[in-house]
Chains A and B, each alone.
Chain A
Amino acid sequence: MILRSGAAAVAGGVGAAALAACGEAEVVEKTVTVTVTEVKEVVKEVPVETVVTKEVVKEVPVETVVTKEVIKEVPVVEVKEVEVEKVVTQEKVVQVEVEKVVEREKVVEVMVENPKADSLVIATPQTQKVDDLDGSQVYEFQTKIAAFCCSESLLLYDYQTQTLKPRLAESWEVASDATSVTFTLREGATWHNGDPFTAEDVAFNFNRIFRDDDPYHAEGTFYYNGFAQPFYGDTEVLDERTVRVNLTQPDALAAEKFGALDSSYMAHPPSVMEHGNREYSTDPDKYVGTGPYIPVEVRPAELVRMVRNENWWGPKPDFKELIFRIFPRGAAGSDARVNALLAGEIDVALYTPATRRNDLFRTPGIGAKWFPNFVLGYFYINHTFPLFQDNRVRQAVARSFDRVAYHEATSGPTVVPWGRFWFPGSPYLNDAAELDYDPAQVESLMQDAGFSKGGDGVWANGDMRAEFKIQYRGDPGSPPDQETFWMQGLNDQGFQVELEAWDPAIGADFDNGPYAQQNLHVGGWGVGVFLGDPAFAYQRWTAGDLFARSYMDNAEMNQLYQDILVEADATNRTQKVHRMQEIAADQVAWIPNTVRTLGAAWREEKVTNVTSGATQYSYPWLYKVAPV
């Protein structure tokens, strides 16, 4: 009697359903009957048993294996002879417990082999070249998320600690005169096809990427090589694991540029030589990389499928298979990504829109967050516009925007309102150099500049009235809220402001477009900041490229920029960067607005979290997403 009721209990608690589902039902029942008296004890002492059994039922068709284990460890005849009232000895219980633990481990191991449970579907937006696999040839953030899972650089820039970390190179050293950088390669690193990764491979790649006359440069889309190409001399192979990159001019950022910048990703030389850069980068059958995942299928505009590289030098990635499902870019795609996540069609959605944040936060089983990104959003200001030639007026305008109130009310956690010139948490940040909202200071600054409010409430100084235009990206008639909000704030504080729409398609026309000096008053734009190093950012405003048209030319700033390019000492460098931010705040070189974020949402039944990891641009560390 006791045995029978015990059997029922076990049937419920130890997974009779799983055993019944197996082809050896008779054997199972015997087993169940046997374990009764002991398992009662075990259930109390080892609470994991129930969970283990459920996993077996749902996920793993390993009933046969489990049954065999039980049969082996608990002989039927022996247990039948045990008198129930006397119970078993403590030693025997412990023995069973051990067996159960072993059982659980086996189950978990088998789960990992389950292709459905072990694949992760990640939704990303369609990009210009979504099917590029070679990291050195991709040029959009979304594509990099996939490409950086199969392609690697020598070093990795760790966003969280803002330091360089080893990758395909174990160590590196910048010469004291900053004219060369030496990399020592990782021992045992191999290409996906098993070829060893060597110093010759590095030399081949740097010539391929940075030399226009290299025979293997043709066809490639090395759009980001411009950051390092002017500095590149040649690459010397010192031995099988050591290479030295010689520069044409000193550069304190040589390790970052040649070790970790987007353009410095490694391609498999024989494959490139055989297929050419384009075929190599777009055909998974021709692509050979070194990364933790191996691409196996590309369906253009649909998906990129990768499987785990079991021979990768790093820690074993969590998922056996990654599938990047491609959605259209823009609002259509981001909405569809959220729908697909809510419907369970995908496991992780990237670039989730702020407009759906409530849907995500309120849905049980969905986790969501927005990572601070290495991109500062800011407003451009025309320093040559007569009204803005006085930096006090520029400061007053900058301090009229209550970005905290605006973004908290509209975007919630999806952006970080930011009135400073570098990123939160960074050692480079000079927290005192700020342009935060401060109406009292606006009043005082305008009065100091000789302005007084007329009868219409607008600041005026002689013939000069505080009137200007704010350009915005958007459809005429429906200006973005940010500019409207700011315009109202400016009006309240005595500025006469008009909104002026402009076509983003002609934004790059710096001679005649809205950002041409003669047309620009104030406009919103963002800036990508590469590798988190200020030199990359300030280069854009001072070094004679496109952003030199920022309508500000400050001799001290320009000199500081030149200094930090060759300043290898970290402390000195940081001090100089802090000083640059003071100048930027005093002169209102730009009006910082936000730190941009990258949204991600995931199904908690599949992963516990998507972390912003040690990747460039703070990409989610997808191959280290923890499975449940």
Chain B
Amino acid sequence: MFRYLVRRFLQMIMVFIATTFIVYSLMYLTGGDPIQALAGEKPVTDLQRAQLTVKYGLDQPFLVRYWNYLTDLLHLDFGTTLTGRSIKDILLDAWPVTMQLALIAILVTIIFGVTAGVIAGIRRGSIFDNATLVLTLIVIGIPSVVLAPLSQYLFTIQWKLFPTTASGNPTWYELLLPGIVLGSLSVATAMRLTRASVSENLRADFVRTARSKGMPGRRVIGIHVLRNSLIPIVTFLGVELGSLMAGAIVTESVFNVPGVGFQLARALKTEDTPLVIGIVSVLVIVFLVANLIVDLLYAVLDPRIRYE
């Protein structure tokens, strides 16, 4: 187990360096003009351009800039944005909000997706099964750019059930609707995955054995079927948690939630390279850690899996 963890950590460092390098070089290669982006439509005088170029170190060669960035990062120094704010502060403000949002989304996915999946799996071919299949098909078909503004309009402006946008330090209540919207996108996938997994396990030998032993139905499904069906779902949820944090760009923008997606969208819009790379670096770490946890959970769920 220990050797496995060490190996994984070494892999993670390699992946981290490779991904940040790719992002850094992509931002560099797109050849944007952050100084003009900062000024908007206004022309920038040559003098000011020269001064800002020196100030942000934009005149240094690419590898030097990347190296400086990486060494600063080792000291947990994320640098400052082009408007002079500390990126560490921005991240410390934004991450808790996004985590809250992702937590709501994951709970929505589990409560609605997994529960409905289990019921549909047990009652295959029933009206519930068919109805949820059609419903999930519809939800999968609606992209979040449509779903988020639509639900904002219906639930907050027409019917006034939720606050329209989140405030600076959003409460759980303000994050509920964005969280549901975010989660609903993975509800469909989670439900279908669970349904397939449960219905397959229902026909497995160990279930028949348990039934013929005279075990009550609830116990058969709750312990034997569910535990064995959870492996693909946990994989999905683990990866999903990572992408929920990254993929919240649309939802966070629509509901004005000051989370990571909100910051990333702004950083891209203003070509704030340091901020983009700062956010992506942390995202990479979140993905890697989420994957590691998923892999470790396998061993808990299925005692046959051992790590050496």
A interacts with B: no
